Chains A and B, each alone.
Chain A
């Protein structure tokens, strides 16, 4: 399946910004199931510096700076991606008891598992804890396969937690999400990652997009999508397997991966430091379109928020 992705972020300032420096994690990486056909970053006003590099996790990071006064900054990431799902890892993970993966990471440690270690411990936003382990425990009875256990965890998060965009912010700690049983995709992905780590498994936070389909009989709204996030578990020889607790779905051809890290802070889509600017507003719009569809006129419908 091929997609065309458009992710627009616009900052509007009350005062001019003389200098800003930003890092974006907006261009999709290559994965085993995904190939990036094309990608570009359109920035207004034109940046004085723009460079791309791979970070320690292999994500594509764009670094740019604008060194002259501006009151609006618009960053548009446009890419085309082809997704070809591979059901085999999940099938293999149905044959592996979850404890054997845990033991591999915590005892035997074959060289192949090196890649999983960065995702085994506490990270900036996610601390392993007893309550998290207790929440996850019912999904992980002795001897259950890793795939089955993680699917169960995903389902339980989906059923136990209410999707509530107004409740949390980037700064809301996980303990609060757990206590109130509500949040957004980012919180649910974080929850999954932290639960798995609390049990001694390696898990990472995946940032990306999901294709949304219109209700039957309705037109698809362009630009009304949003960036998305889910979790991924290390399954030993089968590699990594993704789970989307927000949609109760094992990602296959409708999920597009942009980047992964230990938590959101490693792969924040766009962050920056601005000198001056007074108050600022940010507006984000995302569009995920199958390229088989005819192109439509762009129409942003965005959420904005005062910070």
Chain B
């Protein structure tokens, strides 16, 4: 059948389709009305019926309750939101507890079809970037390649024959009215969703354990094991223990959750372009123990962004020289860069012919009917059926939505018409009117909805293996055929039924009886190290700010009740300390301080909740979660949940007049308890490797600096004896040391003993000396290149600081001459310690974080010439 005939036939089909739509079947359940929009002869499939019965037993209310629970789990795990996105735009990804069920025979057919398709696409790629025989033979119109943005000239030659270039592949499927699955689109570059599919399964199993008892559902882990094997096999050198990394655009990316999730599940480092560098034709990971060679890159970064030298020049997320390293065979990317030329809806129209030509077989899995406008008859057909077809550009275009579907007004229709007429070869029309529905639990009722199933394949041996399941997305609105984007769509688990009892598949490898397995202390990328360090600092900063804030609130209350001028005096000192500790100048010390001290409420409120004010509690919490989010795969399982809860829930809505009422105090108290939970999880669950060292170095350094700031603002000035006692007690309370002090020194409140405890006691975890000890201990354990013989700068700085502190005597420090209004020696020591620690912080950054230098573009100038 030639294409023209096909068009006519389908055109007739569309009309009959319209007529058939008249009478949908329906039957009622307890939960609502479920209409199938399939033909009269079709009812629910047997396993769907079985599922509906189970759900009916459960009842609507329970179902909704469980759904909410699942939704909460997804949220807590971070699947449905990104801390780098403003709250307003956060996607609301809803969970639909009714799985899409596919029986085992059907799945076998689908998997065979998908594997054939992947095979075919692989051969097409090889030809497009090689001899281009398909174009010569007239099987593939040249426009589909040369006019497609995904075709990257610098990638010519990267696809040698008889190799596999498509190592991961994803296709979106939908069930047609005939009950068969049809392919809607092929996804080649960063296929999204495999991690979400896994996450949905985990959540489903936790929230609806009973459902799994009634069905034999295929497990998903097998796919990941195959993927991991495949990636390891791709390595050209270092075949025994290849280093595989996952390249992500970064935590700002909408799907960063999934990138981190998969990295953590597969056990690969998650890296950004800036973490990798090309030297000597190889790709290296910048780690805190030096450069480590990378063998395989699983890309979550689009083709054109991968190498700013040869591809898109404005890409900041790529790795300059990556393409050359690939060309030299020193690194392999999955998929090969350039593969996205296959992401072209118009190709669907040519796949049957190409399949016959390249594989000598019929295409097993049909694509939805597609008309490419690059040929006159098809173009005419699409223009005549604009309102009934979905129109898609062959690649994403500026100013145009990814597709046009659903009802359009005359103006919109005209716009598309003009676009198509101007560049017919850039558009295709697809017929999606004949999709069937599956039961979905939306808006408290089970209703029929169209859904799209994303499937995931990985190359295995000579063929491909599909994840037995996938990510199913369902539309919220009844009328719409398509899930245009994920906003407002539901996602659900996908069950592939198996006849065998569920066999436990895990990712563990089997060791040979006499195989000696060396423990691998995974390398820490410089970026991860930096994030861990800052997570430690921000956690501690939040804690210190909270404690100081509590002391202030107590004083504020005491003063408003008793009007004791001593209270007022120490309140003012504390407020000034707050400005120093939070570094929120001018605050209570700079310009306008007098008014703020007279009525500190507005400034205090601002320091609790102004998210955009660095130093405020809310801002510190956000910084904490932004540092922790990219390294959540390094943290204990529940630690991220704690941080996320903290950040999401800390938004005290307290009127200014109620600031002294105790409500704010209680909120801060809760905050401190949650922060302790975080510290506890870290301290009890993290192995004392580099990641833990980095986090703790951050924490110790911050605690030392905050303590110094507090003491400088509160204990360096001289006071009247009564005020001094007040002040000292407050400082001890703020540093959580009052009880320890009382036990040790009974009721003798004296500056020198306070200093002995808070500054010089090397065994007391709140003391400055203890922080320095810990810093020295941790820094000494950090990996460093063995070639460097001399003492490292960081080790030198910390031992100098310790030496200075050890040389101090608490009795000397409190010496006063008659004219002094401050303790000069104490101030001198504290100032010097602060400076040493700031220098240490800078040198740590230089030594371990290798601050990413922003690369600059070089272009030669071209001047014209008239002769």
On A, residues with C-beta under 8 Å from B are: 9, 11, 18-23, 48-49, 51, 53, 55-57, 63, 65, 67, 109, 111, 114, 117-118, 120-122, 163, 165, 170, 183-188, 210-213, 225-229, 246-247, 261, 264, 266, 268-277, 280, 282, 284, 303, 305, 307
Interface centre among B142, B147, B859 (most CB of A within 10 A): B859
Say yes or no: is B725 at the interface (Cβ < 8 Å to chain A).
no
Say yes or no: is B470 at the interface (Cβ < 8 Å to chain A).
no
| Contacting pair A274 B862 (CB below 8 A) | no
Residues of A with C-beta under 8 A to B866: 163, 246-247
| Contacting pair A280 B865 (CB below 8 A) | no
| Contacting pair A186 B864 (CB below 8 A) | yes
| Contacting pair B863 A226 (CB below 8 A) | yes
Q: Among the listed A63, A67, A111, A284, which residue makes an inter-chain contact with B861, where contact means beta carbons less than 8 Å apart?
A: A284
| Contacting pair B862 A226 (CB below 8 A) | yes
CA distance A111 to B143 in the complex (A): 15
Q: How far is the CB of B306 from chain A (nearest CB, A)?
A: 13
Q: Which residues of B277-322 have CB atoms within 8 Å of chain A's CB atoms?
A: 277-281, 308-310, 313, 320-321
Answer whether A274 and B138 are a contact pair too, CB < 8 Å, given A21-B321, A246-B866, A303-B861. no
Say yes or no: is B512 at the interface (Cβ < 8 Å to chain A).
no
Residues of B with C-beta under 8 A to A247: 866-867
Residues of B with C-beta under 8 A to A185: 862-865
| Contacting pair B856 A277 (CB below 8 A) | yes
Say yes or no: is B59 at the interface (Cβ < 8 Å to chain A).
no
| Contacting pair B135 A117 (CB below 8 A) | yes
Chain B residue nearest to A67 (CB atoms) is B279
| Contacting pair A65 B859 (CB below 8 A) | no
Answer whether A55 and B154 are a contact pair too, CB < 8 Å, given A114-B135, A273-B309. yes
Q: Which residues of B692-713 have CB atoms within 8 Å of chain A's CB atoms?
A: none
| Contacting pair A212 B860 (CB below 8 A) | no
Q: Among the listed A19, A23, A183, A212, which residue makes an inter-chain contact with B867, where contact means beta carbons less than 8 Å apart?
A: A212
Say yes or no: is B790 at the interface (Cβ < 8 Å to chain A).
no
18 pairs across A/B with beta carbons < 8 Å?
A: A19-B277, A19-B279, A48-B280, A49-B280, A56-B154, A65-B279, A67-B280, A109-B138, A165-B863, A183-B864, A186-B864, A210-B867, A226-B863, A228-B864, A228-B865, A246-B866, A266-B153, A276-B853
Q: Among the listed B146, B277, B280, B327, which residue makes an inter-chain contact with A117, where contact means beta carbons less than 8 Å apart?
A: B146
Q: Which residues of B825-867 have CB atoms within 8 Å of chain A's CB atoms?
A: 853, 855-867
| Contacting pair A272 B147 (CB below 8 A) | no
Residues of B with C-beta under 8 A to A261: 153
Residues of A with C-beta under 8 A to B143: 117, 121
CA distance A183 to B866 in the complex (A): 12
| Contacting pair A273 B867 (CB below 8 A) | no
Residues of B with C-beta under 8 A to A270: 858-860
| Contacting pair B278 A21 (CB below 8 A) | yes
The 7 residue pairs across chains A and B that have the minimum distance between CB atoms = A184-B864, A185-B864, A56-B156, A117-B142, A121-B147, A273-B320, A270-B860
| Contacting pair A282 B860 (CB below 8 A) | yes
Say yes or no: is B136 at the interface (Cβ < 8 Å to chain A).
yes
Answer whether A114 and B136 are a contact pair too, CB < 8 Å, given A271-B857, A273-B856. yes
Residues of A with C-beta under 8 A to B146: 117-118, 120-121
Chain B residue nearest to A187 (CB atoms) is B864
Say yes or no: is B733 at the interface (Cβ < 8 Å to chain A).
no
Interface centre among B138, B142, B281, B313 (most CB of A within 10 A): B142
CA distance A292 to B458 in the complex (A): 63
| Contacting pair B281 A56 (CB below 8 A) | no
CA distance A170 to B327 in the complex (A): 29
Say yes or no: is B324 at the interface (Cβ < 8 Å to chain A).
yes
Residues of B with C-beta under 8 A to A284: 860-861, 863
CA distance A20 to B320 in the complex (A): 9
Residues of A with C-beta under 8 A to B857: 271-273
Interface centre among A118, A266, A273 (most CB of B within 10 A): A273
| Contacting pair A49 B281 (CB below 8 A) | yes
Chain B residue nearest to A279 (CB atoms) is B856
Q: Which residues of B112-144 have CB atoms within 8 Å of chain A's CB atoms?
A: 132, 135-136, 138, 142-143
Q: How far is the CB of A180 from chain B (nearest CB, A)?
A: 15
CA distance A282 to B138 in the complex (A): 47
Residues of B with C-beta under 8 A to A246: 864-866
Residues of B with C-beta under 8 A to A120: 142, 146-147
Q: How far is the CB of B132 from chain A (nearest CB, A)?
A: 7
Residues of B with C-beta under 8 A to A121: 143, 146-147, 425
CA distance A42 to B262 in the complex (A): 46
On B, residues with C-beta under 8 Å from A are: 132, 135-136, 138, 142-143, 146-147, 153-154, 156-157, 277-281, 308-310, 313, 320-321, 324, 327, 425, 853, 855-867
Answer whether A122 and B147 are a contact pair too, CB < 8 Å, given A273-B856, A280-B858. yes
CA distance A56 to B859 in the complex (A): 21
CA distance A122 to B138 in the complex (A): 21
Chain B residue nearest to A11 (CB atoms) is B858
CA distance A170 to B862 in the complex (A): 8
CA distance A111 to B137 in the complex (A): 8
Sample of 8 further A-B pairs with CB below 8 A, known A227-B862, A280-B856: A21-B324, A53-B327, A109-B142, A114-B136, A114-B142, A246-B866, A247-B867, A270-B859
| Contacting pair A111 B862 (CB below 8 A) | no
| Contacting pair A20 B858 (CB below 8 A) | yes
Q: Among the listed A57, A225, A271, which residue makes an inter-chain contact with B858, where contact means beta carbons less than 8 Å apart?
A: A271
Residues of A with C-beta under 8 A to B279: 19, 65, 67
Answer whether A186 and B862 are a contact pair too, CB < 8 Å, given A21-B320, A213-B867. yes
Q: Among the listed A9, A51, A55, A63, which residue makes an inter-chain contact with B153, where contact means beta carbons less than 8 Å apart?
A: A55
| Contacting pair A273 B858 (CB below 8 A) | yes
Residues of A with C-beta under 8 A to B855: 273-275
Q: How far is the CB of B35 from chain A (nearest CB, A)?
A: 47
Answer whether A18 and B136 are a contact pair too, CB < 8 Å, given A170-B862, A246-B865, A273-B320. no
Answer whether A57 and B153 are a contact pair too, CB < 8 Å, given A49-B281, A270-B858, A307-B859. yes
Chain A residue nearest to B277 (CB atoms) is A19
Q: Among the listed B136, B153, B280, B309, which residue makes an inter-chain contact with A111, where contact means beta carbons less than 8 Å apart?
A: B136
Chain A residue nearest to B856 (CB atoms) is A274
Interface centre among B154, B309, B865 (most CB of A within 10 A): B865
Residues of A with C-beta under 8 A to B858: 11, 20, 22, 270-274, 280, 282
| Contacting pair A268 B320 (CB below 8 A) | no
Answer whether A56 and B853 are a contact pair too, CB < 8 Å, given A213-B867, A274-B858. no
Residues of B with C-beta under 8 A to A122: 147
Q: How far is the CB of A43 from chain B (nearest CB, A)?
A: 13
Interface centre among B142, B156, B858, B859 (most CB of A within 10 A): B858
CA distance A11 to B143 in the complex (A): 40
| Contacting pair A9 B280 (CB below 8 A) | no
Residues of B with C-beta under 8 A to A23: 309-310
| Contacting pair A55 B860 (CB below 8 A) | no
Residues of A with C-beta under 8 A to B308: 273
CA distance A23 to B323 in the complex (A): 12
Q: How far is the CB of A218 from chain B (nearest CB, A)?
A: 13
CA distance A185 to B157 in the complex (A): 32
Residues of B with C-beta under 8 A to A114: 132, 135-136, 142
| Contacting pair A56 B153 (CB below 8 A) | yes
CA distance A189 to B147 in the complex (A): 21
Q: How far is the CB of A245 from chain B (nearest CB, A)?
A: 10
Residues of A with C-beta under 8 A to B138: 109
Chain A residue nearest to B281 (CB atoms) is A49
Residues of B with C-beta under 8 A to A165: 863-864
CA distance A56 to B308 in the complex (A): 18
Residues of A with C-beta under 8 A to B321: 21, 65, 273
CA distance A277 to B857 in the complex (A): 11
